[in-house]
Amino acid sequence: MQKGKIYQSLSGFYDIVVNGKTYRTRARGNFRKHQIKPLVGDWVEFDAPNQREGYVLKVLPRFNELVRPPIANTDQALVVTSAIEPDFSASLLDKELVALEREHIQPVLVFTKVDLLNDQARSAFLVEVQKYRDQVGYPVVVTTDSDADEKLKALLPHKQTVVMGQTGAGKSTLLNHLDPSLELETGEISQALSRGKHTTRKVSLVTINDGLVADTPGFSSFETLDIQATELKNYYPDFVRVAPECKFRECLHINEPNCAVKQGVKNGTILTSRYEDYVDQYQSIKAQKPVYRRKRGN
């Protein structure tokens, strides 16, 4: 029996890397019965007589797990968001950030295609995205900046990083910039739908600058459906910082009086768009039927 990390999952096969060797395996038969699904990034125990035939015997405990994209044991995420083609969506970005905060994954906001905006729109856009750095506290990288590639490369060593974002935002293009030897396929934008074509169809780990990086399939919508409505506020760090100043300890920042979050929106220290997205998500979660999470592998 050996121990290794899953680098790729495709059509029921799991590629496990140990000391530079890749073993193609399948999951043990009773995994499905126990609703255990191995994920890229999982550390597993497996048995393989050779590099083409083997079985995953056990999924070792995860320290985090994303459902979308499906990946485990991730340290940080490059959240790739385009300024245009497809158009910037603060709502989509905020939902992604909630999912990452829930799993204690450090987000790095990467904004692409800023050069496609006209001068006026570009200036306004850059003001808005820098608020995510100054008012929310997230690292922000704009790919048109001359030092963008070096900033991103410096984040990668000795970490597992997931690159995620909506379809057509430029995830594969970004990775090709960071390591041209990857030669990842990139897609055109559908003008009719303002959506990118899905060029990445699987999750797989590659090595860039001494770190493991996952290119993942894009999406056009994103829902945080398995979060309790009362928990949601905990995944907005800009809310968490001022929440002790609320009149009520368990303030949900919705209808309560003397709410520090709502006061922050009024005085401009909390982004109005972030607060509106929070209220929308809160109401959506309250209105939905219960969603039960798949059992985590362990």
* H/E segment holding residue 71: strand 71-72
**Contact yes or no for 6/44 (Cβ under 8 A):** yes
For residue 137, what are the CA distances in angstroms to 97, 134, 253, 282? Answer: 12, 6, 20, 22
Asked if residue 167 belongs to a known ligand binding site, the reply is: yes
Residue 224 is labelled as binding a ligand: no
To the question of whether residue 173 is assigned a binding role by annotation, the answer is: yes
Amino acid at 111: F
Residue 186 among known ligand-binding residues:
no
Answer left, alpha or beta for residue 73, where phi above 0 means left and psi between -120 and 50 means alpha: left
Q: Which helix (DSSP H) or strand (DSSP E) does residue 91 occupy?
A: helix 90-102
297 annotated ligand-binding residue: no
Strand 189-190 to 195-196 pairing: antiparallel
**Spatial CA neighbour of 173 closest among 73, 78, 67:** 78
Residues 6+ apart with CB under 8 A from 197: 167, 168, 187, 188, 189, 190
Residue 165 annotated as binding site: yes
69 prior amide bond cis, ω within 30: yes
Q: Was 251 annotated as part of a binding site? A: yes
197 marked among binding-site residues: no
C-alpha distance from residue 66 to each of 51, 205, 272, 281, 283 (Å): 28, 15, 27, 18, 23
The answer on whether 170 is annotated among ligand-binding residues is yes
Q: How far apart are the first and last CA of the chain?
A: 17
Is 110 assigned to a binding site? no
Is position 151 annotated in a ligand binding site?
no
Closest CA to 64 of 33, 105, 28: 105
Residue 141 marked in a binding site? no
Q: Is 272 annotated as a binding residue?
A: no
Point out the annotated binding site for Zn(2+): 246, 251, 253, 259
Point out the annotated binding site for GTP: 112-115, 165-173
Point out the annotated binding site: 112-115, 165-173, 246, 251, 253, 259
